[in-house]
Structure 1
Amino acid sequence: MIVITAPTGNIGRHLLPLLLEAAPAHDEELRVIVRDPARLPEAVRDHIEVIVGSHGDPEVVDRAFEGADAVFWLVPPDSSLTPADRWSGFTRPATKALATHGVGHVVGVSALGRGTPFADRAGLVTASLAMDDLIAETGVAYRALANPSFFENLLEEADSIRENGVFTDVVDADRKAPLVAVADIAAAAARLLLDRSWTGVADVPVLGPQDLSPHDLARIMTEQLGRPVRYERQPLEEMRIALVGYGLDETFVQGIADMKQAKDNGLDAGVTRTADTASPTTFEQWCADILKPAVLP
């Protein structure tokens, strides 16, 4: 039995079909935890067990983890909480349920940065790494999917790209870093969940096929969209003030700012890309398949 949290989110909606397709060959049963079952694709509802509720709820995870062999763990974003409350606070009930029910394997969504000089002052990333430690302390076999920033973050800029030909961030325009498509993260999770021959605790970096700078992204978007796109670097303090103005928790906003600053200092550059850590989706392919329909409907 594999339990999937956040099955309708950016990663979960790619992961669930992969597991459903492979489940018969692996003799696997699937169980999901979801707040709103109506958001699940109708075609899959008859092939999975559904536990309704939040996977931050002790009663929900206790019920969901009973009889489970493996869990896909993803903490959903919530900008109304501090980073520590969001990641470790949200995860703590699950760690108790993992131990109670003797779940053997957990695959979690986390971040790059462990072992770097910036790991203890990287805001949201630091909180995510602390969550990994919390899960590992239960004694389960644990694999943390150590991810850089997602291509999908650019979808938040779709209106600006469409209307102004501009996207923004706070990092240096020439800072090259890995980026990854969420579909590739889901594929890595599926492989680990279906072949549970691994033991112990380890990170599994998912780095995309190449490092790219904001200038690289602008060039590729210009080519793929057939219209000029440029990058504007936003001052870090300006970003922080804007996010607080939107009503986000100030501690959470500071966590974003600290993460952004750490990334600009090279937080994501500490892992070498190899055949095992690379993932296949190129930014060109992602622009053609995902960004272009969002920007040019």
Structure 2
Amino acid sequence: MIVVTAPTSTIGSQLLDRLLDGGAEVRVIARDPSRIRPEVRDRVEVVRGSHGDADVVNSAFDGAEAVFWLAPPNDRTDDLRSVYLDFVAPALAAFTKRGVSRVVGVSALGRGTPWAANAGHVTYSLEMDDRIAAGGVAYRALTMPSFMDNLLGQVGALRNGMFFSPIPGDLRLPTCATRDIAAVAARELLDDGWTGFEEVPVLGPEDLSNEDQARILTEVLGRPIRFQHVPMDAFRESLVAQAGMSEAVARGMAEMMAAKAAGLDSAEPRTPRTTTPTTFRTWCEQVLVPALG
């Protein structure tokens, strides 16, 4: 039995398809099971509730061999630390109590770099990894750079011919597609032969700058797309004023982006194992274009 948390998230929903195609017996934890596609919902066992609730995770993890762990976002919290460390606490106890053997979690790059200690969401994500691993369960932390899919949050701007970021336009960084994260997660969850703690980087196929992405977007969409750099303070303020985030979350996002701009995502060497197949061009053609309508 494999338990999938956040099954309606972008990563979780794609992971479900892969696990079911692989013949796995799957149980999901969902606040609102109606958001799971009916053809998938009929093939999984559903535990209703939050995976931050002790009663829910103790029920869901009963008899489970492996768990996919994804801390859900909380853009209105006044304590970013709680999103990762307080939320995972009931699951840590349940992993041991219910005898879960393996956990695969979504995390971030940057461990051991000078920037990891003040990188907002990344800092607490890495601390969450440490706590899961310290509990004795075998753990694979999928460590990622920024997602290609984050551009879906700028559909309106792209329709007007531009996109924004506080990352300098000429800085080349890895970027990955959520479909590839789901594929790696499925590979690890379906493999019962590993033990201990290990980070599994998911780096996409190549490093690209925002200017590189603007060029590819222009070619794919057939019209000019311009990258606009945004100063970090303006970026943070826009997250509060326009995206409705709390000051704490917006500050964490700004700290994370500043760390990425300084080199957080560049320290991990690219190898055949860390390189995943979906190119930015392919992602634009198959995911972004349909979203733009």
Residue of 74, 89, 94 corresponding to 1:92: 89
1:37-78: per-residue Cα shift (whole Å, max 9, x none)? 111111122221100011111110010011110000001111
Provide the residue aligned with 1:275 in structure 2. 272
Unmatched runs of 5 consecutive residues or more in structure 1: none
Please list, as runs of the form range in 1=range in 2, the aligned pairs for 1:121-132 lying within 5 A after superposition.
121-132=118-129
Aligned to 1:99, what secondary structure does the other structure show? helix
The more displaced of 242-251 and 75-84 is 242-251
In 2, Cα distance between equivalents of 1:184 and 1:284: 14
In 2, Cα distance between equivalents of 1:118 and 1:217: 25
Residue of 132, 135, 140 corresponding to 2:132: 135
In 1, Cα distance between equivalents of 2:42 and 2:240: 43
Letter in 1 for 2:133: A
- Quote the offset at 1:262 in angstroms: 0.3
1:211-235: per-residue Cα shift (whole Å, max 9, x none)? 0000000000000000100100001
Residue of 163, 166, 170 corresponding to 1:167: 163
TM-score after normalising by structure 1: 0.96
Letter in 2 for 1:12: G
Provide the residue aligned with 2:17 in structure 1. 17
Unmatched runs of 5 consecutive residues or more in structure 2: none
In 1, Cα distance between equivalents of 2:42 and 2:121: 37
Aligned to 1:11, what secondary structure does the other structure show? helix
- Quote the offset at 1:245 in angstroms: 2.4
Residue of 252, 275, 288 corresponding to 1:291: 288
In 2, Cα distance between equivalents of 1:47 and 1:107: 21
Q: Which ranges of 4 or more aligned residues in structure 1 deviate by more than 4 Å? A: none
In 2, Cα distance between equivalents of 1:85 and 1:40: 26
Letter in 1 for 2:21: E
Aligned to 1:47, what secondary structure does the other structure show? coil
In 1, Cα distance between equivalents of 2:25 and 2:175: 32
Aligned to 1:232, what secondary structure does the other structure show? strand
In 2, Cα distance between equivalents of 1:41 and 1:248: 28
Provide the residue aligned with 1:218 in structure 2. 214
TM-score after normalising by structure 2: 0.98
Letter in 1 for 2:102: H
In 2, Cα distance between equivalents of 1:75 and 1:20: 22
- Quote the offset at 1:250 in angstroms: 1.2
Provide the residue aligned with 1:52 in structure 2. 48
Question: Are residues 1:31 and 2:27 paired?
Answer: yes
- Quote the offset at 1:191 in angstroms: 0.4
Question: Are residues 1:76 and 2:111 paired?
Answer: no
1:260-287: per-residue Cα shift (whole Å, max 9, x none)? 1000001000111111000000000000
Residues paired across the two proteins, number: 291
The more displaced of 36-45 and 268-277 is 36-45
Question: Are residues 1:207 and 2:209 paired?
Answer: no
Provide the residue aligned with 2:5 in structure 1. 5
